[in-house]
Homo-oligomer: A and B are copies of this chain.
Amino acid sequence: MDRKVAMPDSLRRFKADIFQALAHPTRIAIIELLANGELSAGELIAKLGMEQANVSQHLAVLRTKQLVVNRKAGNQVFYAVRDPIIIKVLALMRRYFQKNLKGALELLNEIDNMPADSGR
């Protein structure tokens, strides 16, 4: 009785770390952009339409957590998703979103516009 949970904490910390790496809209966008093959940092920056430094920082996070690998080619650095399982995870999340679309949208609105009552 009171048998503690089985998996060692280090493993859970590992998983949490991966989720943490995915827990930002920009980093999700990066992974999704890389789902069809590698892209250079510059291409990512262009497609995301964000600050160079900021994208580079997010790439650093993904690199550190080893979700992406990079390959230097002359002036440029090409990024790719390291393991397709991560893409499968995102695909599952897409299904989750579709299934729970209704509640999800409500959730988004609550989070987004926090004014008491605007339109509608």
Copies of this chain, tallied across the complex:
2
**Interface size counted on chain A using CB atoms at 8 A:** 53
* Contact present for B107 and A14 (CB under 8 Å): yes
Alpha-carbon separation in the docked complex, A99 to B57 (Å): 27
* Contact present for B108 and A83 (CB under 8 Å): no
Instruction: Give, as a whole number of angstroms, the nearest-CB distance from A42 to chain B.
Output: 11
* Contact present for B13 and A22 (CB under 8 Å): no
* Contact present for B28 and A15 (CB under 8 Å): yes
Given contacts A4-B49, A5-B33, A83-B99, 19 further A-B contacts (CB under 8 A): A10-B108, A12-B26, A12-B32, A13-B108, A14-B97, A14-B104, A14-B108, A15-B22, A16-B23, A17-B107, A19-B20, A19-B23, A20-B20, A66-B103, A85-B96, A86-B96, A89-B89, A89-B93, A89-B96
Measuring CB to CB, which residues of chain A are less than 8 angstroms from any residue of chain B? 2-5, 7, 9-20, 22-29, 32-33, 46-49, 65-66, 83, 85-86, 88-90, 92-97, 99-100, 103-104, 107-108, 111-112
